[in-house]
Structure 1
């Protein structure tokens, strides 16, 4: 019976301590309730203040999230001090510091993506709607979140990319400017006049509706002596989105082919001359 008496005495002490702490617990719950209301109010005020700014929607969400986290941390600290008067802000902060180190090692990749997301959100270069290319992945940025970014590929597939990848690797922003330079190679036969061919190609490119030639010049250079042709490097400026580039290439290639045909200038296909060391048998020789 003695162990039972000891157990009952311990239970009575626990119940008595709980009853003594009941007022503090009620006050702490009220503090938590006030913290919830305060976080909602601050979030509303921040969203209302930032509504007229030109910040990205994701960046506005980040400010709201960080303010809410700060309010909750402060409220939980006050509630803990009320329930346990022996606690002090310094001891709580010390415990949070030790805990944050352990959590940091456990969730290293999560925090890496989180910090990378904050830096990306503050970048002005990569915006929602831009077409980018990174590590072989190419598509349109449809959403930038805290830990990840959503890339919509040209074939319609959605790829969710951790922000650390976009932060640590080079990113090509293809639509950072409204116009992009496009280059194709066009060859003409060795028998043709180079200057005339250049003039015909230039006129054909200038007549294309997708080519911007007002402040961006069309450039045509004889590039090399190829195996079967003189190759011209044809460069012009057009819209920067992938579909605009493909549409412009289609129009320019068709226009150049048509213009060269109308001018009687040959676009050669590869020629190959075979030389045999020994004479061919009579049956294989051509008259």
Structure 2
């Protein structure tokens, strides 16, 4: 009973410190949020910095309150205990802290924006939100995936819509017996007339290789960077080139295969193979 009575002033002082800490954390959070929103920082990064600033105030207030309640607990002992505890907590929550740090780095670097279409490993979709722990990725089929930030930070990320336009490629093959230059001219005229092509940039047509059954071209042109714009442009190009080559009488060959047999085949008089 005496111990409780003797600690009453310390407990009252600790309660006052906690109340002041709550007030100060609220003020710091509102002030930092108000100042940072005027900058060019992302909204998610502003929220993250605000949370960290409040957490720092609460940590300092908790340390002060703990030393008031337990006078024998010196700051040195408290910091030493925190050091050992932080190692245990760090090992237990390694993945959480890793995602937290990766989220900060992603928000600071600004490698991608809300609304960008990205591809990372087997994942692809549109970025809807970037939090301090994960990135909300909306797949083109409609599902929402929460991707840990550490996954995006550690692996190569392809940002498809980093620019408004991007170049796409299409392979076209013609039969060996066809005139290569005539086919090039037909393809060139067709690509030049595409409605989905970016006309401010040139397109390319290269003869690339001797295929198994065709002479192969690679056609490259610029169009919109979103997946839908790419699909529309590629669809128009395939249909238009096929129609143009057909109208010009230029063959797009099927794959040819030559079969050889160890023994000659014996045919019946009616031309059917005998077993």
Structure 1 segments unaligned to the other structure (5+ residues): 1-14
- Tell me how far apart the structure 2 counterparts of residues 229 and 275 of structure 1 sit (CA, whole Å): 21
- Tell me how far apart the structure 2 counterparts of residues 53 and 42 of structure 1 sit (CA, whole Å): 17
Q: Report the counterpart of residue 207 of structure 2 in structure 1.
A: 222
- Pair 1:193-2:179 in alignment: yes
Q: Report the counterpart of residue 283 of structure 1 in structure 2.
A: 270
Map 1:16-35; keep pairs closer than 5 Å.
16-35=2-21
- Tell me how far apart the structure 2 counterparts of residues 54 and 203 of structure 1 sit (CA, whole Å): 46
Please say if residues 169 and 219 of structure 2, whose CA atoms lie closer than 8 Å, have aligned partners that are also in contact.
yes
Give the drift of 1:106: 1.6
Change (3 A) 1:114 1:273: closer
Structure 2 segments unaligned to the other structure (5+ residues): none
Please say if residues 213 and 236 of structure 1, whose CA atoms lie closer than 8 Å, have aligned partners that are also in contact.
no
Q: Report the counterpart of residue 263 of structure 1 in structure 2.
A: 248
- Pair 1:213-2:196 in alignment: no
Q: Report the counterpart of residue 239 of structure 1 in structure 2.
A: 224
User: What is the CA deviation profile of residues 8-57 of structure 1, one whole-angstrom value per residue up to 9, with x for unaligned ones?
Assistant: xxxxxxx2221222222122112111111111111111111111222112
User: What is the CA deviation profile of residues 233-274 of structure 1, one whole-angstrom value per residue up to 9, with x for unaligned ones?
Assistant: 111111222111111101111121222233332223334566
- Tell me how far apart the structure 2 counterparts of residues 143 and 264 of structure 1 sit (CA, whole Å): 52
Name the larger-Rg structure: 1
Give the drift of 1:209: 1.9
Please say if residues 197 and 223 of structure 2, whose CA atoms lie closer than 8 Å, have aligned partners that are also in contact.
yes
Q: Secondary structure at the match of 1:257?
A: helix
Map 1:129-208; keep pairs closer than 5 Å.
129-208=115-194
Q: Secondary structure at the match of 1:96?
A: helix
Query: How many pairs were matched up?
Result: 270
Please say if residues 187 and 231 of structure 1, whose CA atoms lie closer than 8 Å, have aligned partners that are also in contact.
yes
Give the drift of 1:183: 0.9
Q: RMSD in angstroms over aligned alpha carbons?
A: 2.0
Q: Secondary structure at the match of 1:265?
A: coil
Please say if residues 174 and 241 of structure 1, whose CA atoms lie closer than 8 Å, have aligned partners that are also in contact.
yes
- Pair 1:251-2:236 in alignment: yes
